[in-house]
């Protein structure tokens, strides 16, 4: 018998205690309290006078001479997307691969984010790619960030990706040269190199952002963003032990997935911690534990692929025999499909499905709110920590250390929701309403600009055939085949979430994309084609498919408290991903590779 974990055990479970109307009204009040007229414009990018927030604190920049050479493949981005593409290309026999990143080493998000307490909240056995190829078994069920960063380095070492790699280098211009069928690539290091194929995997949550707090620039104490942790100031490392904070009063601004991981450590080490909260996260049980050596010894070749696929099937609503992971993600799979689409339960009507979804959601959130009361001693503080919105309105969090931190006498929760956030900053304090909190140090756990890959934001200008700009050709929205490539822009591939299918285990999504792109390039090399490019018709057909299958979740989003999922409550266009879900998308790609791959080979204008 197959079952779908994440579905309610039975929609008939007793629900008479749940007053959905009252809950909806409460959620609406919370949303209205939080909405700000300036929406996404409330944030500041860390450029110009705030550029120092983006500086790499981990690796000194070394000078080098500009390059003018030619490589076969240039991979822009040294995170898991770029690394797995490089690895699969190497396995396909490609010798000339150049990896490039703005960071000082491989790791992507795990290079930049090294804050104390950092862990991946997806199970490591499914999240960390190529474990079997690299020969690594994670030490913990949910791996600490440093282990993940080292694994990224190990992938690069295993597949010889340090050879020719360029770090602290940013592409400033990409132009297709139709005479030689190569891209001309310019960088901020003065390079002007050439590459047959260019693959961009530059991430979607990479550029840290700051709140536009009035007076933020006047603060004279120490300050940094969580994705550039200043261990020189705090002392200690990702395990904690920050003795530099022992005599400091510290503010952490932000209680999202990052804040939830950081706050227990700063709370333990600082003389006093003020946590400035605007919207509480939902914080469920973590239950992390070391990997059982007997289990690790029992694993047979192919185990990781099986586990990753099983996780993806469960969270995408596909029927499975067994849920191998059985954690907070797989048990809430039904709720995730409000945000990340997949197979929907078609055995009931749309209305009935929505009714069940809402009940399951209410039960889940009631349990999460009840947990706050169980853990937090002070009832007023507990009330402030309760999330009043539906489960997938914000990124769900998991921690067994976060809530107990608020029982410490040296930790104070300051709720800012009624003021739309922090009111202002002065030379030495954070002010909320009329109350001033003098602090020595302000740590911003305030997240990232979303979707800002260089290609999409225009910071990496791309000119294809005839000098046409990529963003201009996407004036009516992206026009890709499968999200990877566009007509008029030969041999240029994008990894990320663009007109394809997504999942919470984004490393798995990137791995499938990497394998697909590597297979396409390998086939082009095999048959001696120098150009890979979809026809205009193929790209248009895919855009139609995306549009026609689109699952519009804007009504759900409109009811949510503001955040980056719904562009700060300003409304979200529904349907820019393949809504049958990632499992169906991967099947579609595999079939396409079987009998249609030749369609993108050998295109000429």
Tracing tokens 């009714």 back to the chain, one arrives at 355
Please say whether the beta carbons of 390 and 28 come within 8 A. no
Q: φ and ψ at 160, to 5 degrees?
A: 60, 40
Cβ nearer to ligand NDP, comparing 395 with 494: 395
Cβ nearer to ligand NDP, comparing 533 with 568: 568
Q: How far is the CB of 254 from ligand NDP (least distance, A)?
A: 3
Instruction: For strands 192-200 and 182-187, give the pairing.
Output: antiparallel
Cβ nearer to ligand NDP, comparing 562 with 581: 562
Q: Which long-range contacts (CB under 8 A, 24 or more apart) does 466-469 make?
A: 466/605, 467/175
Q: How far is the CB of 368 from ligand NDP (least distance, A)?
A: 16
| Sheet with 249-253: strands ordered across | 222-225, 441-444, 249-253, 272-277, 411-415
Beta bridge partners of 200: 76, 494
Cβ nearer to ligand NDP, comparing 225 with 268: 225
Cβ nearer to ligand NDP, comparing 187 with 341: 341
Q: How far is the CB of 305 from ligand NDP (least distance, A)?
A: 21
Q: What residues contact 321, with CB distance under 8 A and at least 6 apart? A: 2, 3
Cβ nearer to ligand NDP, comparing 122 with 185: 122
Cβ nearer to ligand NDP, comparing 480 with 502: 502
Cβ nearer to ligand NDP, comparing 225 with 463: 225
Q: Would you state the structure tokens that stand for residue 326, as one six-digit string?
A: 């059985």
Q: Would you state the structure tokens that stand for residue 352, as one six-digit string?
A: 């009935």
Rounded distance, CA 492 to CA 465, Å?
A: 12
Q: How far is the CB of 209 from ligand NDP (least distance, A)?
A: 8
Q: How far is the CB of 442 from ligand NDP (least distance, A)?
A: 11
Q: How far is the CB of 563 from ligand NDP (least distance, A)?
A: 5
Instruction: Name the residues that contact ligand NDP, by CB under 6 A.
Output: 119-122, 205, 211, 213, 253-259, 276, 278-279, 395, 416, 421-422, 445-448, 563-564
Strands (E) in 417-491, as ranges, are 424-425, 429-432, 435-438, 441-444, 448-449, 462-463
SS3 content of the chain, % helix, strand, coil (to 5): 40, 15, 45
Helix or strand (DSSP H, E) at 296: helix 293-298
Please say whether the beta carbons of 116 and 242 come within 8 A. yes
Q: How far is the CB of 338 from ligand NDP (least distance, A)?
A: 15
Rounded distance, CA 30 to CA 136, Å?
A: 45
Q: How far is the CB of 66 from ligand NDP (least distance, A)?
A: 35
């Amino acid at each position: 018998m197959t079952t779908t974990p994440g579905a309610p055990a039975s929609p008939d479970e007793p629900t008479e205690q749940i007053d959905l109307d009252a809950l909806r009204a409460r959620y609406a009040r919370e949303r209205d309290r939080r909405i700000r007229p300036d929406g996404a414009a409330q944030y500041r990018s860390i450029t110009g006078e705030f550029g120092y927030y983006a500086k790499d604190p981990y690796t000194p920049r070394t000078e080098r001479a500009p390059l003018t050479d030619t490589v076969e493949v240039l991979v822009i981005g040294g995170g898991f997307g770029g690394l797995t593409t490089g690895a699969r290309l190497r396995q396909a026999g490609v010798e000339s691969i150049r990896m490039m990143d703005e960071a000082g080493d491989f790791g992507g998000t795990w290079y930049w984010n090294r804050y104390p307490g950092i862990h991946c909240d997806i199970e490591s056995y499914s999240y960390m790619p190529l474990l079997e190829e690299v020969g690594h078994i994670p030490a913990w069920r949910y791996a600490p960030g440093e282990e993940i960063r080292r694994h990224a380095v190990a992938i690069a070492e295993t597949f010889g990706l340090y050879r020719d790699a360029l770090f602290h280098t940013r592409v400033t211009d990409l132009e297709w040269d139709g005479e030689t069928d190569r891209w001309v690539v310019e960088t901020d290091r003065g390079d002007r190199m050439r590459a047959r194929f260019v693959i961009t995997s530059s991430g979607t949550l990479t550029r840290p952002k700051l709140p536009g707090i009035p007076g933020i620039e006047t603060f004279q104490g120490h300050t940094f963003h969580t994705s550039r942790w200043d261990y020189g100031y705090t002392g200690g490392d990702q395990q904690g032990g920050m003795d530099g904070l022992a005599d400091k009063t510290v503010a952490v601004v932000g209680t999202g997935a990052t804040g939830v991981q950081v706050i227990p450590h700063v709370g333990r080490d600082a003389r006093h911690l003020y946590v400035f909260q605007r919207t509480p996260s939902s914080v469920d049980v973590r239950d992390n534990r070391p990997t059982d050596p007997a289990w690790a010894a029992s694993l047979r070749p192919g185990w990781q692929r099986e586990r990753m696929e099983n996780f993806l099937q469960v969270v995408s609503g596909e029927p499975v025999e067994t849920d191998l992971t059985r954690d907070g993600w797989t048990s809430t799979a039904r709720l995730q499909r409000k945000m990340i689409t997949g197979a929907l339960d078609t055995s009931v009507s749309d209305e009935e499905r929505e009714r069940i979804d809402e009940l399951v959601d209410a039960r889940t959130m009631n349990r999460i709110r009840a947990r706050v009361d169980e853990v937090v001693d002070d009832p007023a503080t507990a009330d402030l920590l309760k999330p009043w919105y539906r489960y997938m309105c914000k990124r769900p969090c998991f921690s067994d250390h976060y809530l107990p931190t608020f029982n410490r006498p040296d930790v104070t929760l300051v709720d800012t929701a009624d003021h739309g956030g922090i009111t202002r900053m002065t030379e030495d304090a954070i002010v909320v309403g009329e109350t001033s909190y003098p602090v020595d140090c302000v740590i911003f756990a305030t997240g990232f600009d979303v979707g800002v890959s260089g290609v999409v934001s225009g910071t990496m200008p791309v000119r294809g055939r005839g000098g046409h700009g990529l963003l201009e050709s996407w004036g009516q929205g992206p026009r890709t085949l499968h999200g990877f490539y566009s007509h008029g822009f030969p041999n240029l591939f994008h990894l990320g979430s663009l007109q394809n299918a997504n999942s919470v285990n984004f490393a798995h999504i990137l791995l499938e994309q990497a394998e697909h792109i590597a297979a396409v390039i390998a086939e082009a090399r095999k048959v001696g084609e120098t150009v890979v490019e979809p026809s205009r018709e193929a790209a248009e057909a895919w855009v139609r498919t995306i549009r026609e299958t689109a699952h519009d979740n804007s009504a759900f989003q409109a009811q949510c408290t503001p955040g980056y999922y719904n562009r700060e409550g300003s409304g979200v266009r529904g349907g820019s991903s393949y809504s049958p879900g990632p499992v169906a998308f991967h099947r579609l790609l595999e079939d396409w590779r079987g009998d249609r791959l030749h369609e993108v080979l050998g295109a000429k204008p």
